[in-house]
């Protein structure tokens, strides 16, 4: 009798383990299938509203919106940007739960802006070209007497 109860208990545990394993497998497959559908970063305002969270907004001037977008993407903030055509200002909409991350991103942008923004790559390249041209103009070619000798040998061949 006790052996039958033990065997039944083992079978129940085995079935429970199989069911749990199947449920976990299904859950993992579902997560992997929906992985591409989960988006963070810039979205349309409609998609942001569909997430069912309370939206907050801030109004910014458009001085360095690209840097601000990069910071928000680094902090995995879901946001939408709308431009006001009259004032040329931008309104950034984001989920209320992301207020701290948006604030942190704004702080980073302000810090970077105060440090001094980097020069555009075109300016850097132009300065490098000017320096190279100046150095080449200042440089005197080395005089090689043996080069004239080699040159005359090649011509006579």
How far is CA 4 from its chain centroid?
Answer: 61
Rounded CA separation 124/108 (Å) = 24
Are the C-beta atoms of 92 and 48 separated by less than 8 Å?
no
Q: What does pTM read for this prediction? A: 0.51
Looking at residue 41, what is its pLDDT?
82
CB pairs under 8 A, 24+ apart, for 62-68? 62/88, 62/89, 62/90, 63/113, 64/109, 64/113, 64/117, 65/90, 67/109, 67/112, 67/113, 67/117, 68/92, 68/105, 68/106, 68/109
Looking at residue 38, what is its pLDDT?
62
Looking at residue 31, what is its pLDDT?
80
Looking at residue 146, what is its pLDDT?
61
Are the C-beta atoms of 82 and 91 separated by less than 8 Å?
yes
* Angle, alpha carbons 97-98-101 (nearest 5°): 145
Residue 93: which of 74, 80, 78, 106 has the closest Cα?
80
Looking at residue 84, what is its pLDDT?
87
Structure tokens at 39: 């988006």
Are the C-beta atoms of 91 and 77 separated by less than 8 Å?
no
Mean pLDDT of successive 10-residue stretches along the chain, which has 157 residues: 81 88 88 73 85 87 81 88 88 89 87 72 86 82 63 68
Looking at residue 141, what is its pLDDT?
63
Residue 105: which of 90, 89, 92, 120 has the closest Cα?
92
Looking at residue 108, what is its pLDDT?
87
Residue 102: which of 50, 44, 60 has the closest Cα?
60
């Amino acid at each position: 009798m006790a052996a039958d109860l033990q065997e039944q208990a083992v079978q129940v545990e085995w079935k429970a383990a199989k069911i749990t394993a199947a449920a976990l497998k299904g859950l993992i497959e579902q997560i992997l299938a929906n992985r591409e559908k989960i988006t963070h970063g810039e979205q349309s305002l409609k998609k942001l509203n569909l997430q069912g969270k309370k939206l907050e907004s801030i109004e910014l001037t458009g001085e360095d919106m690209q840097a601000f977008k990069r910071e928000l993407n680094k902090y995995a903030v879901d946001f939408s940007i709308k431009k006001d055509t009259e004032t040329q200002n931008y309104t950034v909409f984001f989920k209320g739960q992301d207020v701290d991350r948006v604030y942190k991103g704004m702080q980073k942008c302000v810090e970077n802006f105060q440090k001094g923004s980097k020069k555009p790559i075109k300016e850097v390249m132009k300065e490098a070209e000017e320096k190279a041209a100046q150095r080449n103009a200042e440089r005197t070619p080395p005089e090689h007497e043996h080069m004239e000798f080699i040159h005359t040998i090649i011509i006579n061949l």
